[in-house]
Structure 1
Amino acid sequence: MKHRNDHDHAAAVSRAIDALLDYAAQYLDLEPADRDYTCNMLLDLLGFNQYRIVPTTGTGTTEVRTADTGGMPDDLMAQTLQAVRDAGLCAGLDNAALADAIMNTLSARPSRIQRIFENLCQERGAATAMRWLYAYGLHNGYIHGRQLARNPRFEEDGLVITINTAKPEFKTMAAAAAGTSVQSGYPECTICHANEGFGGRDKRTLRIIPVTLGGEPWFWQFSPYGYFREHGICVNTRHTPMHVDRATFGRLCDFTDRFPSYFLGCNAALPRIGGSVLAHDHYQGGGEPMPMHRASAVRSRPAAQAPEVMVDIIDWPGTVIRLRSRSREALVEVADRIRVAWEHYDNAAYGIASHNGRGERQSAVSPTVVKTGAGGRGGEVREPAYELSLILRNNAVSREHPEGVFHAHEEFWPIKHEPIGLIEAQGLFVLPGRLTRQLAGVRRALCEGAALPEELREFTMIYDETQVRLGVAHGSHIPCDARAVDKALRGELASICRRILRNTAVFPNTHATQAFLAEAGV
């Protein structure tokens, strides 16, 4: 009986290997000349010496055929891991590391990926090449497509709200930095070029492409747990600290010149408002326009010393100045004038201090660039045009707001406690995964007309405000229709996110922003 079981286990592993090779041929550019070589690499990785080619029977060689995968390796990998474990193989590797190693063996090497990408750029355009690279990341499992598809997402009140069930919640910048720190010293940080293929944190399947920005080598990679369509980062090949200066604006324009269907932006390079990786210069962007990009202008005029640049103050809860022009040089000049002015601007009436008592800078801009057809004076449509938005940020703290004067206020922390970075400042909110459970409890109480359970007391404001949306008097416990509750909760979440953006605004109104621009000579 044991011999029969061993034979069955060996046959299952063999079938899984055959299915993996078929999958790689269909989705990962595995060429016929490399099939036997890749098979042997898999056998060596698994420590499996009983491989036999199993004849195809029926409709396929395995329960999960490549035609059934939809280009996602999840089911095929689950079956493979089960077969490997049943056969007693690879006991020293956990499932995540083993799956990563298997998919890396099946994936094309970085040089081939880059050749294919460049050929696609030349023959079919940059947008097609980017879509191919993103699809490859889905096919080889580096981008967790199914996990991303499970994340709740909706649009409401001009914002996009998502709940990222895979992203850990970092309530402080210190915690975020700790979550991305490196203990070994190699690679120097979690986004360094040396991470490509690195097994230490399951990045064997990572594939990147080189990009030249400002005449210097950078590279692009997609995020494994992206927040939106084709979300990725562009990283300086040198490990150098985050900073925003005049050259930053030129680099962002360089990127959109090469990839005009993408936007690219940069976090403010200061703690509490600058993202979780300040040690390595990088930008964020992707193929999905942000809600802020669609915001209309409430004030629009030519720049004082550069009439070819239109200056917009946009209808947005945060403080944002949008510049539009066909002239890169003029655009960068005006943007840098605003940056320098903002970094040294003080206004006690608005609680704005450019530096703290220790002389440390507190004000910074977060720029983002997108190519559009709107440029020049009068808003007429011209091609090409750059749209460079400057989000004014300040990371000051106070006794009343110890985590940031221009940070989400404490009453909103049950929904969003983390620092507000570039993506959320542009209107796409990434809320913590715990909310799926917690909001389900709030929803249940509203549907049943029950009081909030004790463990959800921090959601009292959300509960009360949602009752108002439902037309339920305060303190009443009246059951509500589930669909009405869902609609009201979506509206409440969007309202809170808008109020959080207002918390980050450094100026209270358009007039104050205009006064700053006048003082800056813009």
Structure 2
Amino acid sequence: MSGERFSAGQDGARTMMGDSVDMPATTGTDTADPAAVTGRDRVGMPPVRAVDHWVQYAVDRLDLDPRDADWMRNRLLEYAQAHPGVFEGDVLEDDAVMGLLSAPPSRVQDTFAAIEDVDGSMAAMRWFYRYGVSNGYVKQARLARNVRFEGSGLVVTINKAKPEFADTHAAALANSVDGSYAQCTICHANEGLASRGKRTLRTVPVTLGGEAWFWQFSPYGYFREHGICVNRTHVPMHVDRMAFVRLLDFVDRFPGYFLGCNAALPRIGGSILSHDHYQGGGGILPMQRAVALHALRVPDAVVETLDWPASAVRVVSRSREAVVDTCERIRAAWTAYADPALGVEPVGPDGEPQSSLAPSARITERGYEMNIVLRNNAVSETYPLGVFHAHPEYFFVKREGIGLIEAQGLFILPARLERQLGQLEDVLAAGGPLSRELSAFALAAEEVRDAMGGNGGPGPAEADRARVRALVRDEIASICRRILGNIAVFPDEPALYDFLVGALR
């Protein structure tokens, strides 16, 4: 192993495989949300005409064989008799109707396989995504209404559909399925399950590490073509050597996507720990574009520390085996590492592991890249929700755990912030005091006022309000970056570099 230092950007060129994470979810006019042209404008249409319209829609977009048109029409008329008024609303939002119109899973999978055989895996994936938009499972119109902006090298979104949970226990309860034969909300048994509103859910099989997994797109995706890859067997999440193998298996088959894994521990590993799954898609997360600061050379691979507020490294090689071997050496060293001065212990007082990592894989012109964030879920009296968690002064922005996507630079903030930030902008533009509801935003208000020159008094209305909004969004992005600093397990990049030297010796 050898170490070398180089300036930002040297040996660090990145290939933009697909659009950046902040790109819209559409990839062309044929992916536009059909609600915009065939849903709401059909409100009030007589049932027979509406049924005819949706039958033709299914032929055009949902792979309905024209020979089945009369059969489908009769099914819809029967359903309309039992559910009066169903075709007077926005049909695309009706899971039951769209479930009837959608092709069965076997036909979807056969079409996917046929496209992959002729045009390649990415063409098949993009067809599958368009199918999910067309049958209403991917809520593209709702996604377009989310607030989204950039700042401090991050992408920040306010997701109007995502509930906010006070702790990991509440998040786990929200993903429980009491009374259902599906063991959790992401089990394959959910495909077509009416009680979970999954009649339109469709999946395609994927083999990872020689095991049966499946891919499905997220209805409320955080970035372009966001989806999850789920183990067909309901087993707990874990990060080990085979996790690296599976991630690389996926990007080998779908080189235009990345795939990543949460850290698989409470508070730092996402809201569903009971079922092994990964997530990824066509976006590029900000950390994946971060420049390298230092490099360590090991046999057939380069390990880079990154210019990133969290403790992050990147393993690069044209050899799959070298990437897997190097990542496993880092994982083994980190999960055994202890530094009481930093508050890092590999095992907690209850005997449970505390250290893990969150990797994500993609293919670039450099070969395979595995971006890794080192994580630890220790708690203390000062930080009962996590030592390496958002600090309490930032809870007004983000209280929930920081998972893979946010650790790599795409923040998903709660819906309440759209209203609260609007109120904060009003106060700052008028130069008035904060209300009781906004008292938690005192830090942000003070920093924005400083950026405004110490006052927020009225000026030219439109220009002043636009400037205030820009400053408020810059402030929120800055706080998100500070939160990433909170989750860093090493105080600075040199300390991370020293750890890697020992791990890879």
1:318 match: 310
1:197 match: 192
Shift of 1:191: 0.2
Q: Is the 8 A contact 1:16 1:83 kept in 2?
A: no
Q: Residue 479 of structure 1 is aligned with which of 441, 444, 458?
A: 458
Q: Is the 8 A contact 2:212 2:231 kept in 1?
A: yes
1:145 match: 140
Shift of 1:479: 2.5
2:467 is the alignment partner of 1:499: no
1:80 match: 87
**Shift in alpha-carbon separation, 1:83–1:457, aligned structure 2, 3 A:** closer
The 1-side partners of 2:123 and 2:503 are apart by 41
2:385 is the alignment partner of 1:351: no
Q: Residue 456 of structure 1 is aligned with which of 438, 449, 460?
A: 438
The 2-side partners of 1:292 and 1:310 are apart by 17
Q: CA RMSD in A?
A: 1.9
2:255 is the alignment partner of 1:248: no
2:66 match: 32
**Higher relative CO (CA 8 A, sep ≥ 6), structure 1 or 2?**
2
2:254 match: 259
Shift of 1:49: 11
The 1-side partners of 2:90 and 2:406 are apart by 43
The DSSP-based 3-state class of the residue aligned with 1:47 is helix
Shift of 1:225: 0.6
Shift of 1:521: 2.8
2:203 match: 208
**Shift in alpha-carbon separation, 1:11–1:411, aligned structure 2, 3 A:** closer
2:22 is the alignment partner of 1:22: no
- CA deviations 1:29-52 (Å, max 9, x no partner) are 2221010111111122233699xx
The DSSP-based 3-state class of the residue aligned with 1:454 is coil
The 1-side partners of 2:126 and 2:149 are apart by 23
What does 1:110-121 align with in structure 2 at a 5 Å threshold? Answer: 110-121=105-116
> What amino acid is aligned across from residue 80 of structure 1 in structure 2?
F
Q: Is the 8 A contact 1:12 1:83 kept in 2?
A: no
1:362 match: 354
The 2-side partners of 1:290 and 1:340 are apart by 26
Any stretches of 5+ residues in structure 2 without a counterpart? 1-42
The 2-side partners of 1:521 and 1:445 are apart by 53
Shift of 1:197: 0.4
Shift of 1:301: 2.5
2:319 is the alignment partner of 1:327: yes
Q: Is the 8 A contact 1:117 1:129 kept in 2?
A: yes
Taking structure 2 as the reference length, the TM-score comes to 0.88
Q: How many residues in Structure 1 have an aligned counterpart in Structure 2? A: 459
The DSSP-based 3-state class of the residue aligned with 1:453 is coil
The 2-side partners of 1:45 and 1:35 are apart by 15
Q: Is the 8 A contact 2:80 2:87 kept in 1?
A: no
2:9 match: none
Taking structure 1 as the reference length, the TM-score comes to 0.85
The DSSP-based 3-state class of the residue aligned with 2:400 is coil
What does 1:119-158 align with in structure 2 at a 5 Å threshold? Answer: 119-158=114-153
Q: Is the 8 A contact 1:43 1:49 kept in 2?
A: no
1:175 match: 170
> What amino acid is aligned across from residue 479 of structure 1 in structure 2?
P
1:520 match: 503
Q: Is the 8 A contact 1:443 1:485 kept in 2?
A: yes
- CA deviations 1:187-227 (Å, max 9, x no partner) are 11100001000101100000100000011100000000111
1:102 match: 97
Any stretches of 5+ residues in structure 1 without a counterpart? 1-8, 51-77, 85-94, 375-384
> Which structure is larger by alpha-carbon Rg, 1 or 2?
1
Q: Is the 8 A contact 2:47 2:80 kept in 1?
A: no
2:408 match: 426
The 2-side partners of 1:387 and 1:260 are apart by 12
The 2-side partners of 1:386 and 1:329 are apart by 10
1:509 match: 492
> What amino acid is aligned across from residue 443 of structure 1 in structure 2?
E
2:279 is the alignment partner of 1:300: no
What does 1:4-23 align with in structure 2 at a 5 Å threshold? Answer: 12-23=46-57
Q: Is the 8 A contact 1:322 1:389 kept in 2?
A: yes
> What amino acid is aligned across from residue 349 of structure 1 in structure 2?
A
The 1-side partners of 2:356 and 2:271 are apart by 16
1:341 match: 333
Shift of 1:358: 2.1
- CA deviations 1:262-287 (Å, max 9, x no partner) are 00000001000010110000001010
- CA deviations 1:425-476 (Å, max 9, x no partner) are 01000000000110000000011111111211111111111111222x2xx4
The DSSP-based 3-state class of the residue aligned with 2:54 is helix
Q: Is the 8 A contact 1:328 1:386 kept in 2?
A: yes
Q: Is the 8 A contact 1:301 1:312 kept in 2?
A: yes
2:450 is the alignment partner of 1:468: yes
The DSSP-based 3-state class of the residue aligned with 2:284 is coil
The DSSP-based 3-state class of the residue aligned with 1:210 is strand
The DSSP-based 3-state class of the residue aligned with 2:373 is strand
**Shift in alpha-carbon separation, 1:517–1:10, aligned structure 2, 3 A:** closer
Q: Segments of 4+ in structure 1 off by > 4 A?
A: none
2:183 is the alignment partner of 1:188: yes
1:69 match: none
The DSSP-based 3-state class of the residue aligned with 2:438 is helix
Q: Is the 8 A contact 1:291 1:426 kept in 2?
A: yes
